[in-house]
Amino acid sequence: MKSYRKELWFEIKKRRKIVNITSQVEECLRESGIKEGLLLCNAMHITASVFINDDEPGLHQDFENWLEQLAPEKPYSRYRHNGCEDNADAHLKRTIMGREVVAAVTAGKLDFGPWEKIFYGEMDGKRRKRVLVKIIGE
């Protein structure tokens, strides 16, 4: 069994943004030399998400509006966590979007359907944060 590990670093200038990281994850897979196995890609921070969906800007705006409806950022006083922080909404938003993606690796490629792309979802940016890529297989 082979294993591979890499951290991808991000510093998003805004509080929230969705970033397509598919090509960076594919580059990891090439570097690993693994042909058959499983790839885990997860946010290492609890106010960010890694998820699979469509690379369409209208949809990304829909995600932004929808997450703000389900877990509004403000007023900060609506959350107990915000005694010490102002990012409780980011913890909740990331819960909706998910921490991690597990993808199949087949014949050295991400075994994806036609529209599947991997995204980093930043929900509390303006700082350096990391995503982990771990691949195991042969």
Whole-angstrom distance, CA of residue 60 vs CA of residue 72: 17
CB of 28 to its own copies, least distance (A): 13
Using CB under 8 A, count the residues that bind its own copies: 58
CB of 117 to its own copies, least distance (A): 8
- Which stretch, 15-23, 25-33, 95-103, contacts its own copies (CB under 8 A)? 95-103
**Residue 20 binds to its own copies (criterion: CB under 8 A):** no
CA–CA gap between residue 99 and residue 134 (Å, rounded)? 14
Give the residue from 44, 41, 13 showing the smallest Cα distance to 26. Answer: 41
Segments in 1-138 forming alpha helices (H): 22-32, 57-70, 88-97
Contact between 100 and 120 under an 8 Å Cβ cutoff? The reply is: no
Q: Which is nearer to its own copies, 20 or 106 (CB)?
A: 106
Q: Which of residues 26-65 bind its own copies (CB under 8 A)?
A: 36-38, 40, 42-46, 51-54, 56-59, 61-63
CB neighbourhood size of 19 (10 A): 14
Cβ atoms of 55 and 120 within 8 Å: the answer is: no
Q: Which residues bind its own copies (CB under 8 A)?
A: 1, 3, 5, 36-38, 40, 42-46, 51-54, 56-59, 61-63, 66, 70-71, 79-84, 88, 91-92, 95-104, 106, 111-116, 130, 132, 134, 136-138
